[in-house]
Amino acid sequence: MTISSSRLNKLISSQPNPLLAKELLDRHLSSPSLSPSPSTLHSLSLRLAKSPHPSLSLSLSLLNLFPSPPPSLLSSLSLLFSRLSRPDLLFSLLPHFSRSTPSIHSYNRLIFAFARTNNLAYAISLFNRIASLNLSPNATTYRVLVQALCRRGQVSAAEFLLGEMQHKGIPPDPFAYTTVLNSLCRRKKLREAYRLLCRMRPRGSEPDTCHYNTVIVGFCREGRPLDACKVLDDMSERAVSPNLVSYSAVVHGLCTCGVFDKAEGYLEQMVDRGLVPHFSVFHAVVKGFCGVGNVVAASRVLERMLFLGITPHVETWDLIIRGVCTQIMA
């Protein structure tokens, strides 16, 4: 029985089982009068790749039926193969990319896929090849590589790419800066992190609360709360609003290092800004003052807590009561 191309397209599209749809396609491909539409092939290829038992080789074989595979299909397959951790299939896609009309979006997906499957060297190779395709890398291209480099601990290379973006006039990507700041702080390179934070504005990227918080938390984790205070004060000077995370990190950091008066000052500043601290932030200051025998200051913090309608923890009450009793007995 002979059918038309449009009828074949409808039959393939309506078949819920992609394997049966592929079998139907194969049965009629020998007929020179029948040619499935690109949209049908596009849909079937993705259905095969996404099926419960993915028929990845079959999905790839359909690409040979396209005179020029659609970049959107190649992008989707790149992402699917990376999620399945199949770099072998990604390499199988490369010849099809060379037959397709190049687009920066599809190459960004391919670079991301190789980076995600721990093929960073090949991702960088693709990045270096982009110019030969008459394409220009964009902010997404750089962000993908920056994130991949940071995951591998190559933070200096990631920083170099941030500078290259500025040199090429590519709009800075805030997420790329967040990634590098996080990596620097995790590696205890806090001076470098603060320096990068200060460079953001001259490079055309306005640091936001998240960028500042990354450095603040980094300083506090390393027992340098006074440096964190400087960063927090910088925020206010540059019209960036600190949030609960900013203040909580600083207060806890100061208490850990025994700077309780300054911690109380930032706690008050926090409240004055309309931020409601978690009871644990108050508890840290109360515990600190009680630990050095300053029950008056601890009671003052407790009163402030009650005035704001924050219920103290049982341990907070216990600290105050023990402190008062110790003073009476002394």
What are the domain boundaries of the chain?
A: 1-45, 210-330
Q: In the CATH hierarchy, which fold is given to the domain comprising 210-330? A: 1.25.40
> What is this structure's pTM?
0.82
Rounded Cα–Cα distance for residues 78 and 109 (Å): 6
Residue with tokens 């049982």: 314
Q: What is the pLDDT of residue 49?
A: 83
Question: 251: Cβ–Cβ under 8 A, 6 or more apart, which residues?
Answer: 263, 266, 267, 270, 277, 281, 284, 285
d(CA 257, CA 317): 23
Between CA 152 and CA 103 the distance in angstroms is 27
Q: What is the pLDDT of residue 187?
A: 95
Tell me if 60 sits within 8 A of 93, measured CB to CB: yes
Q: Which tens digits make up the pLDDT trace of 76-131?
A: 999 989 988 889 989 999 999 989 988 999 999 999 999 999 999 999 999 999 98
State the pLDDT at residue 53. Answer: 64
Amino acid at residue number 308:
L
Range with the poorest average pLDDT among 35-44, 50-59, 80-89, 151-160:
50-59
**Is the pLDDT reported for residue 320 higher than 70?**
yes
CA dihedral for 21, 24, 30, 35, sign (positive or negative)? negative
Question: CA dihedral defined by 245, 279, 225, 247, rounded to 10 degrees?
Answer: 40
Which contiguous run of DSSP H or E holds residue 294? none
Distance CA 197, CA 215 (A): 8
pLDDT digits (tens, 9 = 90+) for 242-280: 999 999 999 999 999 999 999 999 999 999 999 999 999
| Other CB atoms within 10 A of residue 309 CB | 7
- The share of the chain scoring above pLDDT 90, in percent, equals 67
Split at pLDDT 50, 70, 90, the class of 48 is: confident
Contact 82, 117 (CB under 8 A): yes
Query: Would you say 101 and 71 are in contact if contact means Cβ atoms under 8 Å apart?
Result: yes
How does pLDDT run across 116-175, given as a tens digit for each residue?
Answer: 999 999 999 999 999 888 999 999 999 999 999 999 999 999 999 999 998 999 988 899
In whole angstroms, give the CA distance from residue 30 to residue 247: 71
CA 275 to chain centre: 26
Grouping H, G, I as helix, E, B as strand and the rest as coil, residue 128 is helix
- Give me the mean pLDDT over the 38-65 stretch: 82
pLDDT category at 32 given cuts 50, 70, 90 is low
Whether the pLDDT of residue 281 is over 60: the answer is yes
**pLDDT (0 to 100) of residue 147:** 96
Please list, in sequence order, all residues whose beta carbon lies within 8 angstroms of the beta carbon of residue 159, skipping any fewer than 6 positions away. 180, 192, 196
